[in-house]
């Protein structure tokens, strides 16, 4: 199983939370661009770097975001991921989120670092934002699909997410589940093989087979 993080595994959009700390126009613009890209109305590559350049998150803010990810886990996520892992199901994270904020979450869930695909950002010696990994496919609309195609993960493979970048993985996965527990996006739901409003729903999909 391959899980998105923001608004799927966790109930926040990391970049929106960081932008909210800036307030005003920055918060509004970033939230709007996030929603438009997740609905597939604009390509992610058109806004990914721009949002980060507006926010310029510090190392300390990324540490706080890492804590918030763990506090905002979807109900049942810890228990079900443990159950799936113990049952031999490989669980991986595939996200356009910030790697440094997501790795502590993965560690808590027992997901090894080599099964976490996310975007690195860089800081200077005092912890100020410098930039991000421009070479990462995960900063593009079809990046998740391309990354997934390059990985050797067991089949059958279920991908789970809430946005258009997650829906793109349907091209290479055996099935895609639109997760609606935090954000229900019509364009994504219409093309999904399954709809899951909770991790209970995901467990039912896994149990019944895809």
pTM exceeds 0.85 = yes
The Cα–Cα gap between 126 and 121 comes to 14
Tens of pLDDT, residues 55-79: 999 999 999 999 999 999 999 999 9
24: CB partners within 8 A, 6+ apart: none
> Which residues sit opposite 195 in a β-bridge?
178
DSSP class of 25 = H
Tens of pLDDT, residues 4-25: 999 999 999 999 999 999 999 9
The answer to whether the CB of 55 falls within 8 A of the CB of 19 is yes
The Cα–Cα gap between 99 and 119 comes to 5
Residue 210 has pLDDT above 90, yes or no: no
Q: Tell me how many domains the chain contains.
A: 1
Q: What is the CATH number of the domain that holds 8?
A: 3.40.50.1000
Tokens matching residue 36: 């438009």
Residue 137 has pLDDT above 90, yes or no: yes
pLDDT, average across residues 127-143 = 98
Mean pLDDT of the chain: 97
Active site residue 4: yes
pLDDT at 6: 98
Residue 209 has pLDDT above 90, yes or no: no
Query: Which member of 6, 16, 162, 166 is catalytic?
Result: 6
Domain that holds residue 93: 2-208
pLDDT, average across residues 167-179 = 97
Element at 195 (helix H, strand E): strand 194-196
Residue 185 has pLDDT above 90, yes or no: yes
Element at 66 (helix H, strand E): helix 59-71
Active site residue 125: no
3 state DSSP class of 21: coil
Tens of pLDDT, residues 49-59: 999 999 999 99
Tokens matching residue 58: 């510090």
């Amino acid at each position: 199983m391959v899980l998105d993080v923001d608004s799927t595994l966790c109930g926040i959009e990391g970049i929106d939370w960081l932008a909210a700390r800036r307030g005003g126009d920055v918060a509004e613009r970033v939230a709007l661009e996030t929603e438009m890209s997740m609905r597939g109305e604009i390509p992610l590559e058109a806004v990914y770097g721009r949002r980060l350049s507006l926010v310029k998150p510090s190392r300390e803010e990324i540490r706080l975001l890492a804590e918030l990810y763990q506090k905002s886990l979807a109900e049942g996520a810890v228990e079900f991921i443990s159950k799936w892992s113990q049952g031999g199901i490989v669980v991986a994270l595939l996200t356009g989120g910030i790697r440094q904020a997501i790795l502590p979450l993965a560690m808590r869930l027992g997901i090894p670092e080599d099964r976490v695909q996310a975007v690195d950002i860089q800081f200077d010696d005092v912890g100020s934002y410098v930039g991000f990994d421009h070479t990462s496919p995960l900063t593009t609309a079809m990046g998740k699909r391309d990354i997934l195609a390059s990985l050797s993960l067991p089949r059958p493979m279920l991908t789970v997410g809430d946005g258009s970048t997650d829906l793109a993985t349907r091209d290479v996965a055996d099935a895609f589940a639109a997760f609606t527990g935090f954000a229900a996006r019509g364009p994504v739901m219409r093309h999904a093989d399954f709809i899951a409003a909770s991790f209970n729903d995901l467990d039912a999909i896994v149990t019944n087979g895809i």
